A = this chain, B = another copy of it.
Amino acid sequence: MENLRIGNKQLIKDINRALVIKWIRNHGPISRTDISKETKLGLSTVTNIVEDLINNKLVFEVGEADSSGGRRPVLLEFNYEFGYTIGIKIEENHIILALTNLKAKILNKVILSCNKGEKSENVILLIVEGINKLIEKSNIPKDRVLGIGIAVSGLINGQKGIVIRSSLLGWSNVQLRERIESEFNVPVYIDNDVNAYTLAELWLGYGREHDNFICLSVGAGIGAGIVIDKKLYIGQFGGAGEFGHSIIQVNGYQCHCGQRGCLEMYASEKFLEKEGNLLLTQFEASILKNSDFTFETVHKAALGRDSLALELFKRLGEYLGIGLINMINSLNPETIIIAGEGMIAKDYFLPYAKEMADQNFFSKANYQTNYYVSELGEDAWVAGAALLAINQLFPIPIYNDSLLTSLQITSLGNEG
């Protein structure tokens, strides 16, 4: 249950400190006066808080801006190097680790190979090794790492820190957080990979200026992250956004999840494979005849105007459109951001998807949903993983439960 804090001086202080930090983080470099104007906090209040933040090295004065007829404003900037976080993405056959500053900017990267289907225990050992290597390579003191975020594909219970099930990795019920946390004594956060990507969009991409959207990943599978009021919605145990397993066809293709007719079987790489092989007989001339069906190979074929490839993408697009309709009609998002490996071939399927999706329930009432193609690169996955941790360092301090990890920073001011 959401436990709102009671009103007292400490709450005032925490809220206003967090507010000032937020403004400097999101809009810095910025002057004290501007913070005061924007937040409606009294100027002297801002002065006091900023002094405190500077003493704690969370904020720096970085120079002066031009005057417009009076004393020059002193510009403040957040100290993104106050500490570091590590973002990790576990993939089928390698692990990507990145050291980031508190802006989720990647400062250093380590990529380790591992065998496909490797046991979780061995992967954990690899991760530990990778973290150590990364810290050493980056030449920073270990205790400046303030948090670790790990992105894993599959069903994740972030609160408990458990990988419930990952069909890609072949894991189930792995206590990932506990293992890494005990090794480094630093808060560790884990979440679904698409959720991590969604966080990257929220903080570094589209979400910088928007509060509500769904981020849909089209690739080997289908996944989605749901952002409501600038917060990631995770559901009862972290399983929200499994749109890939919404059923769009009664008695449709058998899905690996046990259901039939899942969207994932119609709008991800799995569809290219399945439908591609079925259609081969009708498209004898296709250059895909002796190839496998991945976004890459089919895309290449499509570039060469291969008619099987074109047909596959057309069908995938139309099915994806139905998936989009279901998202729109059930959640009514402002925008759907589309990302994932599949987007290399976006020109060949997105138009069909959009055309189909525009037939949604709301469009009849002239309420449009926006589509937006993610512009973040590959690095967004690990950056998003790092954000799993960064996100927790500066929470809005109005709830009781959010204090556990953030205390380290937000209450530094009480000591001095």
Contacts and interface: CB of A to CB of B under 8 A. Distances in A.
Interface of A: 1-2, 4-9, 11-16, 19, 39-41, 155, 164-165, 172, 211-212, 224, 228-230, 233-243, 245-250, 257-259, 319, 322, 325-327, 329-334, 359-362, 364-365, 367, 369, 396, 398
Contacts of A330: 224, 240-243, 246, 326-327, 330-331
A261 to B, nearest CB: 8
Given A242-B330, A249-B250, A332-B240, A14 B7 contact: yes
Nearest to A210: B1
Contacts of A229: 2
Q: Which of A12, A331, A369, A398 has the most CB of B within 10 A?
A: A331
A4 B398 contact: yes
A2 B211 contact: yes
B236 A41 contact: no
Contacts of A365: 155, 164-165, 172
B249 A246 contact: no
A237 B328 CA distance: 12
A329 B235 CA distance: 10
A214 to B, nearest CB: 10
A150 B235 CA distance: 29
A230 B247 CA distance: 28
A326 B247 contact: yes
B15 A235 contact: no
A6 B15 contact: yes
